[in-house]
Amino acid sequence: MPLAIQGIDEAVLLWIQEAVRQAWLDPVVKAFTTLGNAGILWIVLSVAMLFWRPTRKAGLLAGCALIFSLLFTNLGLKLIFTRPRPYTVVDGLIPLLTSGDPNSFPSGHTCAAFSAGLVWART
């Protein structure tokens, strides 16, 4: 089953590259992706929340959640699953950006966004 899912994943990535990718959008996509690197956007927003009393608790809890998610995802799950980044294994896939982290699953960007967003929604 995982190989079938990976095959679908690879086909979708190649389709996006061929049918959807537009050169004029490349800088926008790169900038948007870069906002999620190391959880920078979520960290900045959480720190900013610390300066306003009504959001202080949410900012503090989101910061804690970001630290936990970093440890759980990057030092735990990624080492268990060790799924390689698609641009290293899919023939013909041309990456817009590369990463020093060789593992793609689970996504650190998604984990950070979900951790901070869930805490903000709950508080």
Give pLDDT tens digits for 74-101. Answer: 888 888 888 877 778 788 888 877 777 7
**Please, is 87 exposed, middle or buried when counting C-beta atoms within 10 Å of its C-beta (0-12, 13-18, 19+)?**
middle
pTM score? 0.76
Range of the domain at 78: 2-122
Residue 121 has what pLDDT?
A: 93
Q: How many domains does the chain have?
A: 1
Per-residue DSSP letter, 90: S
Separation CA 94–CA 98 (nearest Å): 10
Separation CA 16–CA 40 (nearest Å): 27
Give pLDDT tens digits for 43-65. Answer: 999 999 999 999 999 999 999 99
